[in-house]
């Protein structure tokens, strides 16, 4: 592991800056900012009302954007949970931090943002979903869910061993975070709190208090719900279709338990998450779902009717988990405000990637297409920061670690591949030399959902993707004219020049990020 000399470079702001102008009055550096980093799992921009108000309302998440910034072009480096978390902690692409998929180990001894902050005097805490198949390192306090964790009565792994807590996981994680802020941290040091929620990961089990919500709402069917994937070979071969009972399971995903129905994942649900409900929770659960189950099997739906019924059921269950999340975000924001912490705290809210809410007929993520490649990112900022409103520059989750270091006044090591977002937050004008393209690389194949390995480049207007391994196909999209990525332009007349430019940019990024793949295939 490389070591670096850490130099505190706290910027002078506000009164400290004014005091520094007087003779013989040297100013003390402003105390470094606290950082609260909130991350969810599989929460997509389509289900956050400050991005898209068609489906749900998220007033508390929107509060963060209203008091800071909303990034309209935030993306991930690898759209799957564990690799995305490794990119956050290291500020490096997957091939550099070693966590290329959900199965490979994460080396916790490598340089991480919490290590650098801890060495600079920060208190560090990690609460919630870890999902890195390793023990957290360089945290003063940690309590993590094992693997994906459970929605009800979840177990947590702690330095003292495994513990089980009664209740709903989103409430519990929020309680833990507030308790650490109130009871366990030192008031003499700045802190970074990583609060990682399980919501809204499959299988979308709502809090019993929210089960009645959205039952009367009919969600808008995406225009490309019945996509036939013409001209997109990799898209034809995935296993993410809502319409497919193999892909979206009637019992595990949609809770349609029936004594005569056995599905691929029914045992996992019946003897797993459903079995974790205590008697009171189970009574509320069954009272809600039994009438839906009876009506569903009596209707004996097939074809498009069945596909659209599954879509509505999925959307309702997903939306209910977001309701719980938003209420708990409100609890945390209220605590920070009541304790006068907002003027010295930067709050991040994001997800480990986006998700499909029926677009292309899908759920899940993985592809470099916009719905899963993108991620929500809003930040609440103290009043000393000038920037408010939208930031439309291209940013990526490898930027989060260097941003935290910059906010803390810690020198950013040269091997970190991301860029600090601090210049985008400090000034109203965008930096002239900001990146014009993003690099993406997805590795987890063969695996669940059967999404082929691929890498690609995105600019403000275009996207070029190469699917490889047991396939060799290219896709090109003009995002201005085809924002839903239905028309693959690769090899079509009139696109030779832009294809060549994007191929060159892709190779430049692979060299810049030191990704060992090198492609020199003629156009």
Examine residue 234 and state whether it is found in any structural domain, yes or no: yes
Number of domains composing the chain: 3
454 and 465 Cβ atoms separated by less than 8 Å: yes
pTM of the model: 0.93
CATH number for the domain spanning 32: value is 3.40.720.10
Same domain, 450 and 482: yes
Of 432, 457, 480, the residue that ends a domain is 432
**8 in a structural domain:** no
Query: Which residues fall within 8 angstroms of residue 11, CB to CB, at 6 or more apart?
Result: 30, 409
Q: Is residue 408 part of a domain?
A: yes
DSSP string, 313-373: HHHHHHHHHHHHHHHHHHHHHHHHHHTT-GGGEEEEEEESS---SSGGGB-S--SSSHHHH
> Among candidates 313, 273, 377, 337, which has minimal Cα distance to 37?
377
Claim to verify: residue 98 and residue 195 sit in the same structural domain: yes
Q: Is 79 inside a domain boundary?
A: yes
Residue 448 lies in a domain: yes
8 A C-beta contact, residue 33 and residue 403: no
Question: Is 356 a domain residue?
Answer: no
Cα–Cα distance, 229 to 243 (Å, whole number): 14
User: How far out from the chain centre does Cα 182 lie?
Assistant: 27
Residues 33 and 160 occupy one common structural domain? yes
Q: What's the confidence (pLDDT) of residue 432?
A: 87
Q: Which domain range does residue 232 map to?
A: 213-315
Indicate if 309 and 330 belong to the same structural domain.
no
pLDDT at 388: 95
Q: What's the CA dihedral at 60, 180, 85, 7 to 10 degrees?
A: 110
Distance between CA 377 and CA 51 in Å, rounded? 10
Residue 200 has what pLDDT? 98
Dihedrals φ, ψ of 379, to 5°?
Answer: -135, 130
**Token pair recorded at residue 324:** 């719980």
State the DSSP string of 231-258: T-HHHHT-S-BTT-TTTS-TTTTT----
pLDDT at 518: 57
Q: Check residue 55 and give its pLDDT.
A: 98
The H or E element containing residue 154 is: none
Which of 399, 415, 432 lies at the terminal end of a domain, its last residue? 432
CA distance 252 to 271: 10
Judgement on whether residues 412 and 443 belong to the same structural domain of the protein: no
Q: What is the 3-state secondary structure (H, E, C) of 456-485?
A: EEEECCEEEEEECCCCCEEEEEECCCCCCC
Residue 22's pLDDT is what?
32
Tokens of 426: 């400090």
Please check whether residues 88 and 62 belong to one and the same domain: yes
- Picking from 189, 37, 193, 183, the residue whose alpha carbon sits closest to that of residue 124 is 193
Q: Which two tokens stand for residue 387?
A: 């920037």
Do 161 and 235 lie in a common domain?
A: no
In a domain, 4, yes or no: no
- Interstrand relation of 377-380 and 68-71 (parallel, antiparallel or unpaired): antiparallel
> Tokens 């490889």 map to which residue?
468
Size of the chain, expressed as the number of residues it contains:
523
Do 306 and 336 fall into the same domain? Answer: no
CATH of the domain at 463: 3.30.1120.10
203: cis peptide before it, omega within 30°? yes
Residues 330 and 192 in one domain: yes
Question: Would you say 340 and 40 are in contact if contact means Cβ atoms under 8 Å apart?
Answer: no
Are residue 393 and residue 472 in the same domain, yes or no? no
- pLDDT tens column, 215-232: 999 999 999 999 999 999
**Helix, strand, coil percentages for the chain (3-state, nearest 5):** 35, 15, 50
Which positions of the chain have pLDDT values less than 50? Answer: 1-29, 519-523
Residues 181 and 256 in one domain: no
Domain match, 20 and 152 both: yes
Domain assignment of residue 367, yes or no: no
121, two tokens: 């005097």
């Amino acid at each position: 592991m490389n070591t670096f000399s850490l130099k505190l470079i706290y910027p002078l702001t506000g009164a400290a800056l004014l005091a520094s102008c007087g003779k013989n009055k040297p100013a003390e550096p402003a105390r470094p900012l606290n950082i609260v980093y909130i991350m969810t799992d599989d929460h997509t921009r389509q289900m956050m009302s400050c991005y898209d108000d068609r489906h749900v309302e998220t007033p508390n998440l929107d509060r963060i954007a209203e008091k800071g910034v909303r990034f309209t072009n935030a993306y991930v480096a690898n759209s799957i949970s564990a690799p995305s978390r490794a990119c956050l902690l290291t500020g490096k692409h997957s091939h550099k931090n070693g966590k290329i998929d959900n199965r490979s180990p994460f080396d916790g001894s490598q340089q991480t943002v919490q290590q650098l902050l801890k060495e600079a005097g920060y208190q560090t805490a990690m609460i919630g979903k870890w999902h890195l198949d390793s023990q957290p390192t360089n945290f003063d306090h940690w309590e993590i869910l094992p693997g994906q964790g459970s929605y009800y009565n979840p177990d947590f792994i702690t330095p003292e061993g495994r513990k089980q807590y009664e209740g709903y996981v989103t409430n519990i994680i929020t309680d833990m975070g507030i308790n650490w802020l109130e009871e366990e941290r030192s008031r003499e040091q700045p802190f970074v709190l990583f609060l990682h929620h399980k919501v809204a990961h499959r299988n979308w089990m709502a809090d019993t208090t929210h089960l009645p919500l959205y039952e009367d709402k009919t969600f808008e069917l995406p225009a490309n719900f019945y996509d036939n994937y013409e001209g997109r070979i990799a898209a034809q071969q995935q296993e993410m279709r809502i319409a497919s009972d193999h892909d979206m399971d009637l019992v595990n995903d949609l809770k349609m338990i029936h004594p005569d129905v056995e599905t691929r994942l029914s045992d996992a649900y019946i003897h797993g998450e459903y079995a974790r409900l205590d008697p009171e929770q189970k009574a509320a659960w069954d009272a809600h779902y039994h009438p839906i189950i009876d009506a569903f099997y009596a209707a004996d739906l097939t074809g498009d009717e069945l596909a659209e019924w599954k879509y509505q059921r999925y959307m309702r269950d997903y939306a209910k988990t977001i309701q719980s999340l938003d209420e708990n975000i409100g609890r945390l924001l209220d605590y920070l405000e009541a304790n006068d912490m907002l003027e010295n705290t930067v709050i991040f809210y994001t997800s480990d990637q986006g998700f499909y809410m029926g677009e292309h007929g899908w759920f899940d993520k993985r592809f470099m297409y916009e719905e899963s490649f993108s991620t929500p990112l809003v930040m609440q900022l103290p009043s000393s920061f000038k920037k408010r409103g939208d930031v439309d520059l291209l940013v990526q989750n490898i930027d989060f670690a260097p941003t935290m270091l910059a906010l803390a006044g810690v020198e950013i090591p040269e091997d970190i591949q991301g860029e600090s977002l601090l210049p985008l937050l400090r000034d109203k004008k965008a930096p002239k030399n900001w990146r014009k393209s993003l690099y993406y690389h997805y590795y987890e194949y063969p695996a669940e959902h059967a999404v082929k390995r691929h890498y690609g480049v995105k600019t403000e207007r275009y996207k070029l993707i190469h699917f490889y391994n047991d396939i060799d196909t290219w896709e090109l999209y003009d995002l201005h004219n085809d924002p839903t990525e239905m028309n693959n332009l690769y090899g079509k007349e009139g696109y030779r020049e832009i294809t060549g430019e994007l191929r060159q940019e892709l190779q430049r990024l692979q060299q810049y990020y030191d990704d060992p793949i090198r492609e020199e295939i003629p156009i």
